[in-house]
Amino acid sequence: MSMPPSSEVPVGTDYSRLFRLDGRRAVVVGAGSGIGRESALALAAYGARVVCADRDLEAAEATARLGPDLSAYRLDVLDGDAVRRASAELGVVDVLVDSAATNVRKHLLDYSDDDFDRVVNLNLRAAFQLLRAFGSGMAARGRGSIIAFSSIRAVTVEPGQGVYAATKAGLVQLLRAAAAELGPRGVRVNAIAPGVVATPLTAPIRAVPEWAEAYAAKSALGRWSRPDELAGAVVYLASDASSFVTGTQLFVDGGWTAIDGRYTPPT
């Protein structure tokens, strides 16, 4: 049975340029360190002009010095007015990457209202503000890709991770709703779900050998990931290589969510 014309590959597609981002402008939130920094460097390596946005301007500038197509911009995403100003000042943005996140590791009964607000405000409210501010311009122009980092905790949880997990699950649903609403206007919206990554956020875990080793053993690959190992997924979702991908959560977790438990029984 023949396929309808809309599903056919365009004649003369240049697959060698499928991941190229030449002529596109990207904003990476949280580009001062960790996954955000590596995302910015990877996008620039594939031809994008990248704005490295971070609350810590010095950290953003340090990232920007690593490449010719990188610039720094101070942005506190907890300030809704600042987010709206940024979307106006930065002009045309084709790709938005949100890597900002925080966590307070406590059991639910030990959580204070301030702890709750701290995690929810950055992980969920700020993500909503960014999506709304930058997604509006993308929708008006009829194109764009929005990428935010969820987590394996969007689908799995452990003691002390309840509020963080709730924000990441909520973020995924927020992004799915945005994908449904903005898709007809040419904007794609997706999440990347890392496993355990060696970043400043996870430094307290890695400082405890038993804890660090238990997390490493949980994945199929038996180790923690490096921040740069998330960069390929960012480039993929930003580029035409993923032109028919929206509303999805891409797990880059070393097989963490494929495995049941941390104990390998004898065979």
Report how far residue 90's alpha carbon sits from residue 234's, in angstroms, rounded to the nearest whole number: 20
- Strand partners of residue 144: 187
- Does residue 88 sit within a domain? yes
Query: Domain residues for 202?
Result: 20-258
Give me 262's structure tokens: 């941390």
Give me the pLDDT at residue 3, please. 47
Give me the pLDDT at residue 13, please. 83
Q: What is the chain's mean pLDDT, rounded? A: 93
pLDDT value at 265 more than 60 = no
pLDDT value at 9 more than 60 = no
- Does residue 124 sit within a domain? yes
Per-residue model confidence as pLDDT tens digits over 114-166: 999 999 999 999 999 999 999 999 999 999 999 999 999 999 999 999 999 99
Q: DSSP letters along 131-156, please?
A: HHHHHHHHHHHT-EEEEEE--GGGT-
Report how far residue 223's alpha carbon sits from residue 213's, in angstroms, rounded to the nearest whole number: 8
Give me the pLDDT at residue 256, please. 94
Q: DSSP letters along 199-235, please?
A: SGGGHHHHTSHHHHHHHHHHSTT-SPBPGGGGHHHHH
Q: Which among 72, 65, 77 is positioned nearest to 102, based on CA atoms?
A: 77
Give me the pLDDT at residue 1, please. 47
Report how far residue 76's alpha carbon sits from residue 126's, in angstroms, rounded to the nearest whole number: 9
Give me the pLDDT at residue 200, please. 82
- Does residue 195 sit within a domain? yes
- Does residue 8 sit within a domain? no
Positive or negative, the CA dihedral 131, 133, 136, 141 is: negative
- Does residue 263 sit within a domain? no
Q: Label residue 264 by pLDDT band (50, 70, 90).
A: low
- Does residue 35 sit within a domain? yes
Per-residue model confidence as pLDDT tens digits over 41-97: 999 999 999 999 999 999 999 999 999 999 999 999 999 999 999 999 999 999 999
Amino acid at 60: A
Q: Which among 61, 23, 82 is positioned nearest to 239, based on CA atoms?
A: 23
Is 164 labeled as catalytic in the residue annotation? yes
**pTM recorded for the entire structure:** 0.93
- Does residue 29 sit within a domain? yes
Report how far residue 132's alpha carbon sits from residue 187's, in angstroms, rounded to the nearest whole number: 12
Give me the pLDDT at residue 106, please. 95
Considering all CA atoms of the chain, what is the largest pairwise distance in Å, rounded to the nearest integer?
A: 61
Total domains in the fold of the chain: 1
The CATH number for 124's domain is: 3.40.50.720
- Does residue 1 sit within a domain? no
Give me 158's structure tokens: 């452990």
Catalytic residue among 15, 46, 73, 164: 164
Give me the pLDDT at residue 260, please. 75
